[in-house]
Amino acid sequence: MNIPSLQELMAQRMNDQEDCKAQMNPLEPVFSLLHGKWKTRVLFEVIALEIARFGQLKRAIPKITNTMLTSTLRELEKDGVIIRTQYNEIPLRVEYAITEKGKDLLPVYYEMYKWVMKYPIEKEGE
């Protein structure tokens, strides 16, 4: 399959806009997948931990509420980028791991890392 470069896609979008063609942005599925305040962060933490439990994720992202973490994990599972494994033990144990589809997002995180190393972002108040 011949995949066009990002520059070719952008040029095509410009041509489509000039011709008033209403075509979907080819990156829209990625934008949709990563849409939301916590999805990219939760996904990163699952990747970093390899096998993550709810409590570990909660400690890694202290500002997220339990409800939002649960919701985000369900969305990421529905999107096919993480897998949830439930062990019917007492107490119940649930683990989250990255799927092959999720692992394919690692280069995206690496590019974001390279960008922030090149253009450091200072937090307010620092």
pLDDT averaged over 10-residue windows placed end to end, the chain, 126 residues: 70 61 70 89 94 96 97 96 95 95 92 91 68
Range 32-36, long-range pairs (CB < 8 A, 24+ positions): 33/79, 33/81, 36/72, 36/75
What pLDDT, on a 0 to 100 scale, did the predictor assign at position 5?
Answer: 75
**What does pTM read for this prediction?**
0.77
> What integer pLDDT is reported at residue 103 of this predicted model?
93
CA distance 37 to 23: 27
Neighbours of 38 (CB within 10 A): 20
For residue 43, count CB atoms less than 10 angstroms from its CB and return exposed for 0-12, middle for 13-18, buried for 19 or more.
buried
- At residue 18, the pLDDT reads 55
